[in-house]
Structure 1
Amino acid sequence: MSASKKKAKVTPLFDNADWDYATVDKVFQAIQTIAIEEMGLEVYPTQVEVITSEQMLDAYSSVGMPLMYSHWSFGKSFVRDEASYRGGFSGLAYEIVINSNPCICYIMEENSMTMQTLVLAHAAFGHNHFFKNNHLFKQWTDANAILDYLQFAKNYIAKCEEKYGLKEVEKILDSAHALQGQGIDKFTRRQKLDSAALREKELVRAEYERSQYSELWRTLPESKSKDSHEIDQIEKELARKLGLPESNLLYFLEKHSPILESWQREILRIVRSIAQYFYPQRQTKLMNEGCACFVHYHIMNRLYDTGQI
């Protein structure tokens, strides 16, 4: 007999394409061991849900979120995607993962067991790790609060529909949706200065202007408009009060519109907050998918090398 001990035979986690919940859980535990202990990934607790194609289409229509307020545009998206899918013109995603705590990972019931293994590694750990650790996601999203906020938004808009009517709510939502692409902050909002800091800033500016003053400017002819300086001061004061320049149109309308009522401002804030939540998704799409692909590649190969698949 050889001096070296024979390796214990490892039983594969599954041996056919069919899956059941016990097998999915067993595979998830094996993937988690590799992801956490070997790769050192930092992830949110994961909630895995198996959904049908109908539920996946429903998730598509509400931009992948488990909760969403009512609006006709979501129904329109559902009808379009369903017709395309049923007609064989498009397929459905193998999974959808939500940037929340716990991280919700939807997997399709039509997936084979091998595909379930892949998407769990890809989404439940690859995307999950990226959500928790990427700078933009940490700066602009709050995974702990998003589900509660979506529930609040859904309930608030439903109450507004009861109180003010569907037409009025739909009108403000249509307008907000039209501007939601321009309703996000792309840079960290500057902190407002207190009065002492403002005075200090004005003194520094005045000192700079004095240092740049030259008597030669007095030889230039006077401007025909004698009140131009006064007009400039009025415009500067107005811009200061309105917080201009302001690139976030929804924020500007919410804070400064003279005609919006409080409930309409709150709806603008809801649409703006949800649009802001998706900002890192668009900005980091390539990096996010790259991270998830790297993770699932490593995990799938480790499972194969250890004889588990």
Structure 2
Amino acid sequence: MVAIAEKHPLLFTGSDWDFDTIRRIHETVGEVAGRQLGLDTYPNQIEVITAEQMLDAYASTGMPQLYRHWSFGKQFAHHEMVYRKGMSALAYEIVINSNPCISYIMEENTAMMQTLVIAHAAFGHNHFFKNNYLFRQWTDAEGILDYLAFARKYIAQCEERHGLSAVERLLDIAHSLQSHGVHRYPRRSRLDLKVERQREAERHAYREQVYNDLWRTVPGQPSQTAGRSSAERRRAMLGLPEENILYFLEKTAPLLQPWQREVLRIVRHVAQYFYPQSQTKIMNEGCATWCHYRIMTHLHEQGSIDDGAFLEFLQSHANVIMQPTYDKPYYNGLNPYAIGFAMMQDIVRICESPEDEDRAWFPDIAGKGDAVTVLKHVWENYRDESFLSQFLSPRLIREWRLFHLEDDSTKPTLRVDAIHDERGYRRIRNALSRQYDIGWQQADIQIIDVDLDGDRQLTLQHNTVNGILLYEKDIDQVLQNLAAIWGYKVVLREVDPATGRLIKEHIARTPQRNGPNGEDQLF
């Protein structure tokens, strides 16, 4: 007697779907994700939205609710114009790192595409958000939705009490500084956004207690020794040097009112929420793309989707992982979906069918066999920079035809600095991973001193990399914004970190304006 394997019923036929179809798709994809891949995810919340709602999500950085600001309307108008003219398509989905994990799917998607995006976002991205160490350190998936509701309500109240123009001006300045409004190293306690929302009143009382002592002018002319001691004590008291500029302004800027400090705090918390995403683009998309590929393939093998749907999936998947060559007009660097998926597939190959070269380069995983466990370990413990430096294989370098070019502006030609030999593979891998190092992506700017006894000058230092200076026009505008928040003179010094040599100095001053009762007032 021959046993015949039971085929699963089709999840859908054709391209049409309804909400019951979405429910069946989610349940079946979840079973495969759990049984075959062992994914550990937050509960899912699937939201079906229109094209206009997707454009609105673009404008608000993908968040389900956010405070109002004119720049979001500008983004909406831009994306709508590009979309309506057919110059760009919309994303098939947007996924939010929250608990429950919210996935927006387009109502225009076919049934196959809804299956693909649920596998990609609701399970692939979801697993990465919940388990990667950067997201565990820096984001509060439990509290982010409540905090965003608080932020929206609080800023709306500020607009009513203090005027729309004053709030918008403050947000303009805060947004220009938000890339330097994150903590890059873990603090002693994990951020709890629910507690942050509840402590707003306590922070206002704390400000009154602390800032009076902080800004008391010390009379008399100190000696040189006493001056050094006082300067060291002052910097220690202020926690200098400090790279989180918005945090320092929120805590220390002498002229800000309590509501202005809270607005700065809101902007930097939102910036901190996005901090891990900028460092895990390749890994996050690679994880989600590999998961959707495995899940969709298994659904086809077990008969849950038919051949036509699977061919439609393969076409969409091929478009996602396409890597344009450098000479194409639409080339824009490495496609994170492409390089991420290729490296995940390569890790599976190394685990299951290694060659001698793989055993020499990856002795810990070559031939291990359990590729899913290895991948889950990688997703949990690495970011893009360390992932590339540890797992980009010589075979993949050859397949992608990667080389390292030395582009020296003082020389008339480019120089091929690393070729396909053992030394070249390491140099190519190190050079590529460095491009994803946060220390190379963003300028190292720190607040190093404040003159409490004199003119209250705020001094910042930019530690240059390879002698590269900040863009003159941008730094002048941003520095003027910083001076407006600080209320006094601001100096930024660009130095060579190896020698301490001053390369360039920028100065911004802000005029003092008096309030109705003679007090200092910025806005």
Looking at structure 2, the residues matched to 170 and 286 of structure 1 have their Cα atoms a distance apart, in angstroms, of 34
Structure 2 residue corresponding to 1:30, chosen from 25, 28, 43:
28
Tell me by how many angstroms 1:7 deviates: 2.5
**1:104-138: per-residue Cα shift (whole Å, max 9, x none)?**
00001111111111100000000000000010001
Aligned to 1:112: 110
Contact 2:178–2:268 under 8 Å retained in 1: yes
Residue aligning to 2:153: 155
How large is the Cα RMSD of the aligned pairs? 1.3
Q: Equivalent residues in 2 for 1:3-14 (5 A)?
A: 3-14=1-12
Which letter maps to 2:148? L
Q: Secondary structure at the match of 2:63?
A: coil
Amino acid across the alignment from 1:258: P
Gaps of 5+ in 2: 190-221, 306-523
What SS does structure 1 have at the residue aligned with 2:272? helix
Match of 1:179 among 169, 177, 189: 177
**Residues 78 and 308 (structure 1), Cα distance of their counterparts in 2 relative to 1, 3 Å cut:** same
2:245 corresponds to 1:249: yes
Looking at structure 2, the residues matched to 138 and 20 of structure 1 have their Cα atoms a distance apart, in angstroms, of: 35
Taking the aligned partners of 2:10 and 2:153, their CA distance within structure 1 comes to 47
Partner Cα distance (2:224, 2:7) in 1: 88
Task: Decide whether the 8 Å contact of 2:41 with 2:127 is kept in 1.
Answer: yes
Structure 2: distance between partners of 1:47 and 1:182: 32
Distance across 1 between alignment mates of 2:5 and 2:129: 38
Output the CA distance in 2 between the equivalents of 1:9 and 1:43: 27
> 1:276 maps to which residue?
272
Counterpart of 1:260?
Answer: 256
The match for 1:303 among 299, 302, 314 is: 299
1:231 and 1:29 map into 2 onto residues whose CA distance is: 69
1:11 is displaced (CA, Å) by 2.4
Q: Give the AA of the match of 2:279.
A: Q
In structure 2, what residue type is equivalent to 1:282? S
User: TM (normalized to structure 1)?
Assistant: 0.86
Residue 73 (structure 2) pairs with residue 72 (structure 1): no
Secondary structure of 1:106's counterpart equals strand
AA in 1 matched with 2:109: N
Corresponding residue for residue 210 of structure 1: none
Q: Shift of residue 102 of structure 1?
A: 0.5
Rounded to whole Å, the distance in 1 between the matches of 2:34 and 2:224 is 66
Q: Which residue of 2 aligns with 1:143?
A: 141
In structure 1, how many angstroms separate the alpha carbons of the residues matched to 2:4 and 2:286? 38
User: Which residue pairs with 1:216 in the alignment?
Assistant: none
* Counterpart secondary structure, 1:69: coil
What is the CA–CA distance in structure 2 between the aligned matches of 1:70 and 1:10, rounded to whole Å? 48
- Deviation, structure 1 residue 39: 1.5
> Displacement of 1:32 after TM fit?
0.5
Identify the match of residue 43 of structure 1 among 34, 41, 44. Answer: 41
What stretches of structure 1 move > 6 A for 4+ residues in a row?
Answer: none
Instruction: Kindly report which structure 2 residues correspond to 1:205-220, keeping only aligned pairs within 5 A, or say none.
Output: none
Structure-1 residue corresponding to 2:285 = 289
Name the SS for the 1:67 alignment partner: coil
Q: 2-side partners of 1:32 and 1:296: how far apart?
A: 11
Give the drift of 1:38. Answer: 2.4
Choose which of 111, 121, 135 in structure 2 pairs with 1:123. 121
CA displacement 1:62-89 (0-9 Å, x = unmatched) = 0000000010000000001101110111
- Whichever residue aligns with residue 72 of structure 1, its letter is W
1:227 Cα offset (Å) = 4.2
2:266 aligned partner, one-letter code:
I
Question: 1:9 and 1:159 mapped to 2: Cα distance?
Answer: 58
CA positional deviation for 1:59: 0.2
- The residue aligned with 1:165 is 163
What's the offset of the Cα at 1:4?
Answer: 1.2
Give the distance between the partners of 1:296 and 1:10, measured in 2 at CA. Answer: 19
Gaps of 5+ in 1: 192-225
Query: What whole-Å deviation, never above 9, does each CA across 1:238-279 have from its counterpart, x for those lacking one?
Result: 111111000000000000100000000000000000000000
Equivalenced residue count is: 273
Higher helix residue share = 1
Instruction: Give the Cα–Cα distance (whole angstroms) in 2 for the partners of residues 160 and 9 of structure 1.
Output: 60
Rounded Cα–Cα distance in structure 1 between residues aligned with 2:149 and 2:86: 34
Give the secondary structure class of the aligned counterpart of 1:34: helix
| Deviation (angstroms), 1:23 | 1.1
How far apart, in 1, do the equivalents of 2:176 and 2:228 lie? 33
Alpha-carbon offset, residue 25 of structure 1: 1.0
- Higher mean Cα deviation, 231-240 or 106-115? 231-240
In the TM superposition, what is the alpha-carbon distance from 1:45 to its structure 2 partner?
A: 0.5
